[in-house]
A and B are shown apart, each in its own frame.
Chain A
Amino acid sequence: MTLDAILPPLIGGALIGLAATLLLLFCGRIAGISGICGGLFAPKSAEWGWRVAFVVGLVTTGFVAVGPAPEAFVFGLDRSLGAVAGAGLLVGIGTTVGSGCTSGHGVCGLSRLSGRSLVATCTFMATGALAAFIVNHLLGGAL
Chain B
Amino acid sequence: MIRLVAALLIGAIFGVGLVVSGMTLPTKVVGFLDVFGQWDPALAFVMVGAIGVHMATRSLVLRRTRPVLSEEFPGASPAGIDLKLLVGASLFGLGWGLAGYCPGPAIVSVGVGGDAAMVFVGTMVAGMAVARVVMARTAA
User: A interface vs B, CB < 8 Å?
Assistant: 1, 5-6, 8-31, 33-34, 37-38, 40-41, 49-51, 53-66, 69, 72-77, 79, 81, 83-99, 101-103, 105-112, 114-116, 119-121, 123-133, 135-137, 143
Contact = CB atoms under 8 A, between A and B. Distances in A.
Contact of B101 (A38, A61, A91, A135): A91
A23 B19 contact: no
B10 to A, nearest CB: 5
Interface of B: 3-27, 30, 33-37, 41-55, 57-58, 61-62, 64, 66-74, 77-81, 84-104, 106-112, 114-117, 119-132, 135
A115 B81 contact: yes
Given A99-B88, A107-B47, A1 B8 contact: no
Given A12-B17, A19-B17, A91-B91, 14 more contacts: A12-B46, A75-B27, A77-B100, A85-B119, A86-B98, A90-B127, A92-B127, A93-B88, A97-B135, A101-B92, A102-B103, A123-B85, A124-B93, A124-B96
The interface residues of chain A, by DSSP majority, are classed as helix
A17 B52 contact: yes
Contacts of B111: 58-66
Contacts, number: 483
B93 A123 contact: yes
Contacts of B135: 96-97
21 contacts: A8-B42, A16-B17, A17-B55, A27-B3, A27-B67, A53-B4, A55-B11, A58-B12, A59-B108, A60-B111, A81-B115, A83-B99, A87-B123, A92-B128, A94-B90, A97-B91, A99-B78, A107-B50, A107-B54, A114-B77, A119-B85
Central interface residue in A11, A34, A63, A87, by most chain B CB within 10 Å? A87
